[in-house]
Structure 1
Amino acid sequence: MHFAVCFAVLSWMLVNQGSAQLLDENCAEVSRLSTDLRFRRPWMALVLMPNKTCSGSLIHKYFVITSASCVFNQERTIVRLGQWSIKQKHSISYSIDEYQVQSSYIHRFYDKSNFGHDIALLELQNEVLYKAHIRPICLWLDKSDIDTQKFKRFQTFRWGIDEKFILPAAKTRKMKHIRKVNCENAFNFYPQSSHICAGLENKRNCVETGSPLFNKIRYHKKTSYNLFGIQSYGESGTCLYTDVTKYMDWIMGIILNVDVIVSNGKNTYA
C-alpha cells in the first residue's frame, strides 16, 4: 500500500506542480483585512450525529478530518460548514451549508483505550463550494519538511462543545507545546509517538473531540495556517492531539483512492 500511495502522490504532484507541497492550493490564507470571525477560521466544521456533536476541519473539497473517537460506531453523520455562531447577529447573511457524509474512514489501528491512531476522514456526498467563509485549512504534504516537535506554541479553535452545549461563538485559544510526561501525569498513560501534548492557559476546559491544532506556515510568499493535530482527549488544561503530519500517506491514500478499505458493520477501516 505504501508504494501505491507514493506512486499516486508523485503522479498527483506532477500534475499539480504549482501546488505540489499543499494538499489543496485553495486553502485559506491568514486574513489581515477582515475582523469578521467568519473569515478567520473558514475550515471549521461541526460534525453532527443523532446523539453527539464534534469538531472537524475541512481539508479538501470532498473531505473533513476529525477524530476516530468522534465517529466511531456512529451513523447518519452531517457536516455543517460556514457557521461561526449559533445566533446570527450580523445584518449581512452568509450561507451555512450542510453536507451528508457518504463514508467515514477510521484508521484500522484505532485504539479507544489509549487514543492510538485516533483519526478519521469523512467523505462528503457532494463537492464543497468554496467561498470566502468556507475554505479548507492547509496540509503540507512532505512530512519530512515539517517537524512538529520544533513548534513551541500552537493555536486551536473551539466551539466549546460540552455534551449538550455549544458556545454562542467559536473562540481561538493559544496552546503551549508540553512534554509528554505532562500528559502521562494527567491521563495515567504515556502518549504514543503519533501524539502531541499541548496545554491551555488557566486550566481551561480541554475536552472537544476533533478540534484542530494549527500554526502559521510561509509558502510562496503567502502566510497560511497548517493543520498539525486533531484533539483526542483532554483533562482540565492538558490536551492530547493526534499528530496529523504522521498520517499524510494514510490521508492521501484515501483521498486518491489507493488505500485498502475494510468494512466492518457500522465502521469503515482504512
Structure 2
Amino acid sequence: MLLLPLLTSAFLLVPWAGAGRIIGGSEVKPHSRPYMAYLSTGKSRCGGFLIQPDAVLSAAHCVAGKKNVTVIVTLGAHNVEKRELSQQKFHVRHWVIHPKYSQNTSENDIMLLKLKPKAKLTKKVSCISLPSDNERVKPGTKCNVAGWGRTSTSGSVSSVLREVDLEVQCDNVCGEHLKKYYRQTSMICAGDENSKKAFFEGDSGGPLVCNGKAHGIVSYRHKYSIFPEIFTRVSNFVPWIRKELRKFALQDLPDSPSSD
C-alpha cells in the first residue's frame, strides 16, 4: 500500500492519488486491529489510527493542498464496502496539519483529526499506544502496516483490511536510495529488501506498529521501487501531539470560542 505526498523529485513517490495497497500481505483477522481508521476524502482514501476517543492521527499529505475537502472517518471497519454494525462514522470538520509540513520534502508529514462526538470504545474500536518522546525502534525490528490499499501495482484497492510485515532499516539504507531522506530524527526507514512486501497507494496515514505501539505513519517511497519506504517518526512529534490534544480539550469546554 502506498499513499504519497505531491513530490517534485523523480526520486520520490508519485503524487498521492487516493488508491492504496498492501503488496505481499494478507487479510487480517476481522477487527483484530481495532485502532485502524479509514479516511475517505471524496474519490481518495487514506488510513489513520485512533489515539484517544476524539483524535485520529494520519498523514498530512492526505488533505494538504486540496480545496473544499470533506473528510469522513470510519472506525470499527473490516470491509469498508459493507455497512458493518461495528462501524462508527464521523464527518470531520476540524483537523490540524503540522505547521512545518512540506509537500516538497515530505518533512513533518503528520496531522491530527478531531472527532465530534467522541468515538464509543468497544472491542472493535479502541486506541493504540504511542511511543514516548524520542523513543526509537532499533534496525532489524519487525513491524507491521495495515490498510485498505492496492494488493499489486496494477490491482484494485482492497475492500478488506490487509497487513504486511516490514523490517526497520538502518538510516543509511534510505539515504542511499532516497536523496531526500535526510531527516532521520523525524522519519523511519523500513521495508522488505526482497521487494516482495510493501505499502502502496491508499495506505498513506496508516500506522507502522512495532512492539504494540504506533511508531510510524505511512508517508512515501521511491517512485519506481517498493524498497525502502519512509514513515513519519511519531515519537519525534509527541510534544506537538500533546499540545494539540490539549487544544482539542479546550474546544469542548462550555462557552469556548472555538467550540463547534
Specify the TM-score bucket, using the shorter chain as the normaliser.
0.7 to 0.9
User: What corresponds to 1:37 in structure 2?
Assistant: 29
1:3 counterpart residue number: none
Identical aligned residues as a percent? 24
Match of 2:89 among 90, 98, 102: 98
Q: 1:41 Cα shift?
A: 0.4
Residue correspondence of structure 1 range 21-32 to structure 2 within 5 A: none
1:197-235: CA deviation from partner (whole Å, max 9, x where unpaired): 00136413432211210122xxxxxxxx21100011023
More relative contact order, 1 or 2 (CA 8 Å, 6+ apart): 2
Q: What is aligned with 1:156?
A: 145
Which residue is equivalent to 1:180? Answer: 171
Aligned residue in 2 for 1:4: none
Helix, strand or coil at the partner of 2:235: helix
1:248 Cα offset (Å): 0.6
Task: Give matches, 1:208-219, under 5 Å.
Answer: 208-216=203-211
Summarize the alignment of residues 84-163 of structure 1 with structure 2, pairs less than 5 Å apart: 84-86=78-80, 94-140=85-131, 142-143=132-133, 146-149=135-138, 152-161=141-150
SS at match of 2:238: helix
Q: 1:49 to 1:210 in 2, by over 3 A?
A: same
Residue 150 of structure 1 and its aligned partner are, at CA, apart by 6.1
Query: Structure 1 residue 79 and structure 2 residue 98: aligned?
Result: no
1:170 to 161, 182, 186: 161
1:54 has 2:46 as partner: yes
Verify: 1:232 aligned to 2:225, yes or no. Answer: no
Contact 1:54 1:209 in 2 (8 A): yes
Q: CA deviation at 1:152?
A: 2.2
Residue 82 and residue 68 in structure 1: after superposition, are their counterparts in 2 closer, same or farther (change >3 A)?
A: same
Judging by fraction of residues, say which structure has more helix: 1
Cα RMSD for the two superposed structures: 2.7
**Any stretches of 5+ residues in structure 2 without a counterpart?**
1-27, 250-260
Asked if structure 1 preserves the Cα contact closer than 8 Å seen for 2:139 and 2:170, the reply is no
Deviation of the 1:242 alpha carbon: 0.5
CA distance in 1, matches of 2:100, 2:120: 33
Give secondary structure in 2 for the equivalent of 1:257: helix
Amino acid at match of 2:233: D
C-alpha separation in 1, matches of 2:133 and 2:237? 9
Q: CA deviation at 1:163?
A: 10
Task: Give the whole-Å Cα distance in 2 for the aligned partners of 1:184 and 1:242.
Answer: 15
| Cα shift readout 1:225-252 (whole Å, capped 9, x = no counterpart) | 2110001102313210000011111001
- Compute the displacement of 1:191 (Å): 3.1
Moved more, 154-163 or 169-178: 154-163
Indicate conservation of the 8 Å contact 1:212/1:231, yes or no: yes
TM-score (norm 1): 0.71
Query: Unpaired segments of 5 or more residues in structure 1?
Result: 1-35, 217-224, 260-270
Residues in 1 aligned to 2:74 and 2:248: alpha-carbon distance in whole angstroms: 27
- Tell whether 2:58 aligns with 1:66: yes
Structure 1 residue 258, shift from structure 2 partner: 8.4
**1:95-132 Cα shifts (integer Å, max 9, x gaps):** 21110112110000001111101100011121100111
| Partner SS for 1:166 | coil
AA at the equivalent of 1:82: G
1:163-222 Cα offsets, whole Å, 9 max, x none, are 994213222211111122322333332330210000136413432211210122xxxxxx
Corresponding pairs, count: 212
Shift of 1:73: 2.9
SS at match of 2:117: coil
Once the two structures are superposed, what CA deviation does each residue of 1:76-95 show, in whole Å capped at 9, x if it has no partner?
11101111124659xxx632
Corresponding position of 1:246: 236
Q: What displacement does 1:37 show?
A: 2.1
